[in-house]
Amino acid sequence: MNILKISKLFLFFLAVSCKEKSTSNDMTTSSSNKLKTEDISYNVDGKNYKSFVAYKEGSNEAKPVVMILPEWWGLRDYAKDRAKQLAELGYFAMAVDLYGDAKVVDNPTDAQKLTEPFYKIPVNAKMIFDGAKARILKFDNADYNKIAVIGYCFGGAQALNMARQESDLKGVVSFHGNLMTGIKPKNNKVPILVCNGAADSFVSPEEIAAFKKQMDSSHVKYTFIDYPNAVHSFTNPASTEIGKKFNLKVAYNKEADEKSWNDMKVFLKDIFK
């Protein structure tokens, strides 16, 4: 069966038949409104994946879902912290393991090796994404019919790929991600927000122009925001030290981080109406 065309019935079967291991750590905010986090395990195409979910307890109402695709370092604390922030806003958040077994790396050479297959064979990312998405069906407090995706750097590029392939998503946000990723839009139903650093040397003016032309010609609803003086990875407080360590033009920009987060909040509120 073509994984790109699997039905929701198959997704449900995948969700309920996968092997699961869960641990939880509660962060108490009140006696009836706790922030709960869980590490969840599931299988995709014979490989184990370990993602992370965060949500507030105390309500039986299903919450809109925000899936977070991490930077090329893998599923580190940064993506998990973003999941917690989104849960505090009232969403069911999942930080997605894209590499398997929650693998993380600490240098650009290893990171590039792990990300290359996603660009060479983009459908593999969709298969992994579908496996994570199917796992959401096991949570009664997650609204499977209201799913958005956000991503950072490499994850931002993959988020755009999901928008280009998956028409059921409510919306996608890319933070300082590459724009032309090898997948052309196959639908024009998913609105997109691109949060780009105006001084990002990893995203050229030519790439931006090509992206906008592609979106316009495909009649995709999108918003492109440039944040002044922001370079690559401007949302991650750890990026400045990483830039110094590996001689990369990446750095944290507090103003751009806060503005882009607020822009994302407005975008999510609008798409989940």
pLDDT tens, per residue, the chain with 273 residues = 444 333 433 343 334 334 343 333 333 333 458 999 999 999 999 999 999 999 998 777 899 999 999 999 999 999 999 999 999 999 999 999 999 999 999 999 999 999 999 988 888 889 999 999 999 999 999 999 999 999 999 999 999 999 998 889 999 999 999 998 888 888 889 999 999 999 999 999 999 999 999 999 999 999 999 999 999 999 999 999 999 999 999 999 999 999 999 999 999 999 999
Largest CA distance in the chain: 53
What is the DSSP pairing of strand 35-44 with strand 47-56?
A: antiparallel
Q: Which residue has the tokens 């009836």?
A: 32
Distance CA 126, CA 182 (A): 13
pLDDT of residue 174: 98
Mention every residue, 6+ apart, whose C-beta is less than 8 A from residue 265: 89
User: What local confidence, expressed as pLDDT, does residue 32 receive?
Assistant: 53
Encoding tokens for residue 259?
């503005």
Question: What's the whole-model pTM score?
Answer: 0.87
Backbone angles phi, psi at 217, to 5 degrees: -70, -25
Backbone φ, ψ for residue 195 (5° rounding): -105, 105
d(CA 45, CA 198): 39
* Alpha-carbon radius of gyration of the chain: 18
CB 254 within 8 A of CB 235: no
Nearest Cα to 31, choosing from 62, 6, 60, 56?
56
Torsions phi, psi for 94 (to 5 deg): -130, 120
Residue 159 identity: A
Order of strands across the sheet that contains 63-69: 22-27, 35-44, 47-56, 92-95, 63-69, 142-152, 171-175, 192-197, 222-227
Taking the CA atoms of residue 247, residue 259, residue 74 and residue 194 in that order, the dihedral angle to the nearest 10 degrees is -100
Nearest Cα to 236, choosing from 157, 177, 163?
177
CA dist 5 and 57 (Å) reads 33
Residue 62 one-letter amino acid:
A
Closest CA to 267 of 163, 189, 178, 191: 191
Strands (E), the chain: 22-27, 35-44, 47-56, 63-69, 92-95, 142-152, 171-175, 192-197, 222-227
